[in-house]
Structure 1
Amino acid sequence: MKTRSAVMRVVGAAVAVGALTWAAVTGGQTEVSAQDTPVGAVADTGPGYAIEDYNYPYADDILAERDIVLKRGNGHILLADCASGTGLMEVWARSRDKICFKVTGQNGWLTLEIPSVYGIKGSLDHSAQVDMTVGTEEKSFDVTKNSFTAVGESADPEGREHMLVEIRTSK
């Protein structure tokens, strides 16, 4: 009984403090309009809320400039200039220069489309799993840290052309 009584006193005190605070803020008014508070004016002219949709930033520009389709990700696998450093993940595809990605954080994911991929060199600190498609089939490959892994057509007994569609990384 003592515990229940103590809880009731604390709840009652909290309600009373809340009511006093409301009265002090509103000046005793029961209605507050947008003209009574500067928040209305700021809210009407301020920037909107940022809502993460996981779409890859500047994907249209990257597609136009480099012919790489980057769709969605959590921001831990980023397209990088291959000359920008060491330890990058490298994607090798026929008829194009290697494509590099900087991998950060504990876990990353990126959906994309790169055709004719035959090999991937893992980043320095992250292992990876990649999903690829060939026709209507989906195949997954494990990529070891900091080493080259045959994937796609180089790992396919029939030598079929594979499209890289997703990269997942973990430390």
Structure 2
Amino acid sequence: MILRARKALIAGIIGATAAVAGVASLAVAQAAPQPTSDTARAAAGELPPFAVEDFSYPGAEKILNEKGLKLIKGDGHILLADCDGNPDFNVMAENKAHNPVNYCFKVTGKTGYLTLEIQKINSIWENAGHAARATIRTAGKTKTVDLKKNNITPLGQGDLSTGAKEADLLELRVTE
């Protein structure tokens, strides 16, 4: 009977030791909780930072240096184009040396916008039948003008009805 009690005691000690070892190994093997959201993971340095689109015109600095044209931002649906092709917009202006200069643009979508700065404009020729607007600044005042479809719209120095005052083009927008 003592022998049986000894065997039960030894078996109990071995069982308890195994149970304690098992619980200890589970506690050690469990990993620390991980952040679940992408924001938390990015903050923890596990993901690269989010890309933020600011709609800046690609290559704007190079275009400014080469052509003297300041393109600021847009949605990618109005792009600078070659005037030798069939542009959708032809912006006629005067450069700093008082020589005529043309800047041409192609529309790649049903709608679009382009923020830019062209000084001393005199007209815009809309050549593709788009409903479009131009935002201009004359004598410190900003206004938006509907462009004539498939025609030239006199603006700034070319607009005799407003006294042919100098104007800067600030935005082109296609609405349909």
TM-score normalized by the length of structure 1: 0.69
In the TM superposition, what is the alpha-carbon distance from 1:134 to its structure 2 partner?
1.4
Structure 1 residues 146 and 29: alpha-carbon distance in aligned structure 2, compared to 1, 3 A threshold:
farther
Native 8 Å contact 2:78 2:113 kept in 1: yes
SS at match of 1:112: strand
Structure 1 gap segments, 5+ residues each: 1-27, 34-39
- Could you say which residue in structure 1 is the equivalent of 2:80? 79
Instruction: Tell me the CA shift for residue 73 of structure 1.
Output: 0.7
Q: Which moved more, 1:146-155 or 1:107-116?
A: 146-155
For 2:175, the equivalent position in structure 1 comes to 170
Q: Give the aligned partner of residue 63 of structure 1.
A: 64
Match of 2:163 among 141, 158, 161: 158
Partner of 1:135: 139
**After the TM superposition, which of the residue ranges 89-98 and 63-72 deviates more from structure 2?**
89-98
Contact 1:103 1:123 in 2 (8 A): no
The residue correspondences of 1:65-144 to structure 2 (distance < 5 A) are 65-83=66-84, 85-94=85-94, 95-144=99-148
CA distance in 1, matches of 2:81, 2:74: 15
Scaled by the length of structure 2, the TM-score of the pair is: 0.67
Matched residue pairs, number? 136
SS in 2 for 1:98: strand
Q: Percent identity?
A: 37
Contact 2:89–2:106 (Cα < 8 Å) also in 1: yes
Aligned AA for 2:82?
Answer: D
Residue ranges of structure 2 left out of the alignment (5+ in a row): 1-28, 35-40
Secondary structure at the aligned position of 1:93 is classed as: strand
Separation in 2, partners of 1:29, 1:125: 67
- The answer to whether the Cα contact below 8 Å between 2:78 and 2:105 also exists between their aligned partners in 1 is yes
Q: Provide the secondary structure at the position in 2 that maps to 1:31.
A: coil
Residue pair 1:89, 1:122 contacting (<8 A) in 2 also: yes
Distance 2:170 2:147 in 1: 15
Larger radius of gyration: 2
The 1:46/1:61 distance shift into structure 2, 3 A limit, reads farther
Whether the 8 Å contact between 1:82 and 1:88 is mirrored in structure 2 is no
Q: Structure 1: which 4+ aligned runs deviate by more than 6 Å?
A: 44-47
SS of 1:105's equivalent in the other structure is coil
